[in-house]
Structure 1
Amino acid sequence: MTIQKLHHVAYRCRDAKRTVDFYTKGLGLKFTMAMSEDRVPTTGAHCPYMHIFFEMADGSHIAFFDLSEAEPMQLDPNTPPWVQHLALEVENAEALEEHVKRLRDYGVEVIGPIDHTIFQSIYFHDPDGHRVELTYRTETAEVLKELGDLAEPMLQEWAETRQVSTKAAWVHQSLHA
């Protein structure tokens, strides 16, 4: 019994039409579905919504809820804005650069590319302030094995001390030189 893949991840948006514009024109995703109801299917609670979906190449989706009668949307005030983000994979460096150009042409401020040793990434925010990362893989089998071997010892060290472990500091060493 294995989880197969991501089906969809859902976020809230303030304006479904603006969100469709950004994710189709800014990112090139396909707008595939919209659902709208006045009751939440799982609870029956009254909450009119528009639920929109964007399909990625592997068939998974990013989805958004626009809630017409709910309190105004806000991001989590207790979490630094860089923590919660959606990371989407692109094919290669050329695709990442094409997205940088497309996003900047759309008026989006882009951070990066950032070298994470095992992948290269750019970061930006959608119209609702959700942080999005586009990334492509650069890992080798050896590096992934090394990081895999370090995972349990690093977690144990963190659980015991709540202090930063330097066991894998080499991953971002070039950023701190």
Structure 2
Amino acid sequence: MAAFNINFLDHVAIRVKNMNTSIDWYSNVMGLKKYQLEKWGEFPVFMLSGKTGVAIFPANVDDENLNQLSKNIKIDHFAFNVSNIDFKKAQEYLHSINEPFQFQDHHYFHSIYLKDPDNHTVELTTLVVDNTFYK
């Protein structure tokens, strides 16, 4: 038994080439709400749905570029959980705005994967079996 419990994924911090482009994408495509804390200045900018989301920081484009296809140590992707109904709505919406995504059937879950403006892989996932999976 763990010494403490984790409630939920709070946020994933990402570095981006253009703060405004990424803020717009996470707002318009993913429907996240922008939060910026006065005492912290220009960044990070939090893009949240409820208590979950991403913290956006500017990248240092002068640093060495990483190979996006590498399977070495990196964040591979991050996922937002949605209901079955919202999973269908998300696909319809993404089609309507011509936002490309890939569907995958993971037996227990169905997922769609899309790329943000900096090529981070973002997943929307929904449980398609009974809820005993999480017990």
Q: How would you bin the TM-score normalised by the shorter chain?
A: 0.7 to 0.9
Q: Distance in 2 between matches of 1:20 and 1:98?
A: 22
Measure, in 2, the Cα distance between the counterparts of 1:12 and 1:86.
14
Q: Partner letter of residue 60 of structure 1?
A: T
2-structure distance, mates of 1:130, 1:3: 25
Q: How does 1:1-177 map to 2 (within 5 A)?
A: 1-33=4-36, 35-36=40-41, 50-57=43-50, 59-67=51-59, 70-71=62-63, 74=66, 76=68, 78-79=70-71, 84-92=76-84, 94-112=85-103, 114-140=104-130, 144=133
For 1:51, the aligned partner's letter is P
Q: Percent identity?
A: 27
| Cα distance in structure 1, aligned partners of 2:131 and 2:53 | 28
Deviation string, structure 1 residues 60-107 (Cα, Å, up to 9, x no partner): 231111136752664555318xx8111111111x31122123223333
Point out which structure has higher relative CO (alpha carbons under 8 A, 6+ apart).
2
Tell me the amino acid that sits aligned with residue 92 of structure 2. Answer: K
Structure 2 length-normalised TM: 0.77
| More helix per residue | 1
Cα deviation, residue 23, structure 1: 0.6
CA shift, 1:3, in A, is 2.5
> Is the CA contact (8 Å cut-off) linking 1:13 and 1:64 kept in structure 2?
yes
> Aligned-pair RMSD on alpha carbons?
2.7
Count of matched residue pairs: 128
User: Structure 2 unaligned runs (5+)?
Assistant: none
